[in-house]
Amino acid sequence: MSLSIPKYQQIARQLGDKLRMGMLTGGDKLPSVRMLSQELGVSISTVQQAYYCLEADGLVEARPQSGYYARTLVERMGDVPRRSAPQAMAHQTPLSDHESIVDRIMHQQREPGWLPFSLSMPAPSLLPVDKLTKAIQQAQRELPNGGIEYERMAGNAALRRQIARYALFWGGQLTDEQIITTEGCTAALVLCLKTITQPGDTVAVESPIYFGILQTILSLGLKVLELPTDPRTGVDLDVLEGYLQQGQLQACLLVPNFSNPLGCCMPNTHKQRLVQLIETYQIPLIEDDLYGDLHFAPDRPLPCKAFDRQGWVLWCGSVSKTLAPGYRVGWVAPGRYYNQLLQVKRYQAGFSPGITQQAVATFLANDRYELHLRRLRQRLKSNCQRYQQTIRAHFPSGTRISEPQGGFTLWVEVDPRVNTLELVNQLAPYKISIMPGSLFSLQPQYTNCMRLSYGLPFDERIAQGLKTIGLLIHQQLTV
């Protein structure tokens, strides 16, 4: 399998470098697709794909009937200075403090009338509910005795075949016999951690990182090492290599594609180097690829598993963020740890439900999933851009906004004088919930940051909710 960089990505990278270096500034018109095609001697579709990539990266914007224009980069999250490398520690913030805040916000999400910017999932209106209902009915007809019997320990055979088939889209060489199904992606991560670590071991993660991952690691008696992470390219591999050289790590748990909350995507060269590092030091990598299918560029980004030749990558995925959150259908391809992980599942997790897995397999089998994904990605990309525009218009000057290339979360950094944990309380009377940045680390940082989900379709209520958040931030700054 060739992993050479496609021509459109080369063109996008060259133009992107010019934009970042200021050779093209905000508002400048880029060459037309036809003109650039002639100048570079490539097809029109190649140039279009390059412009799509730049648009997904937030570097250019398309104006109807006019063409592509450079966007101002003043507020790009990539301009945020890097923080110093953290030290490995179990935690500084009491876990109970995090849990109480999360519990309160999750309760708000379920209350009628609330605007849950804190909810990290697509709105039900963006999901194929009716088609999934039919898939469930078909699964009951297809499974022996309507699906009431136990499934195989490795999971539903039809689902494992479909996961292996879909892996071909990113060059994966997986077979159904290399995949184990789980009840969602978190369950896959837990099985991986139980398989490859012992209490007291240290696990490296990105920072900021989804609070659920932090809580999961600590609940297993493990220590967390938070690594500085670039909002565009992912975890700092130089810092990671330093800790690997010192022998201070027993595992890595990373989200290379559209991490939550930053939305960054590691370039292929970084993923290759990451896999080389874990092979050299023989430290397993748990790869959370939950968001990989939610890409805004034309092609799905490669997971680290695509570069894995020795089985050190435990690749985890799910349809919880793309298709059916409540079905709890996930999986893991654990590489060299297959037998050990299957035993852990046998004695600590047990069988996975067959009906929901069969239903998802049916949905994947006839390309309905890919059609749904195309529509979902278009809606999320549009949502992302409209949320960003509204934030820029109504939040204080100097606010920094991430430029995700996929997924559905925005990371917003405001004035250091603002405490977003206080903002959670101030928003409660308006029935608006956000996730404060302090939850995404175990160290005292990100107190002036927040995660906002753009999984809710943009409308006037969304716009008014974002305006309200901006107004309350302004008020904090004037007190």
pLDDT score for 402? 94
Structure tokens at 127: 């999901």
pLDDT score for 350? 76
pLDDT score for 294? 95
pLDDT score for 322? 93
pLDDT score for 95? 58
pLDDT score for 39? 78
Task: Tell me the pTM.
Answer: 0.81
Residues of the chain with confidence (pLDDT) below 70 = 1-5, 17-26, 56-58, 64, 72-97
**Residue-range domains of the chain with CATH:** 7-70 (1.10.10.10), 96-126+374-478 (3.90.1150.10), 129-369 (3.40.640.10)
Q: Are 39 and 31 in contact (CB under 8 A)?
A: yes
Query: How many angstroms separate the CA atoms of 221 and 201, rounded?
Result: 8
C-alpha 154 chain-centroid distance: 26
Q: What is the number of helices (H) and of strands (E) in the chain? A: 15, 16
Q: Beta strand pairing status for 313-318 and 285-288?
A: parallel
pLDDT score for 85? 40
pLDDT score for 152? 84
Spatial CB neighbours of 137, under 8 Å, sequence gap ≥ 6: none
Exposed, middle or buried: residue 92 (CB in 10 Å: 0-12, 13-18, 19+)? exposed
pLDDT score for 81? 36
Structure tokens at 172: 């994966």
pLDDT score for 44? 85
Query: How many angstroms separate the CA atoms of 44 and 34, rounded?
Result: 6
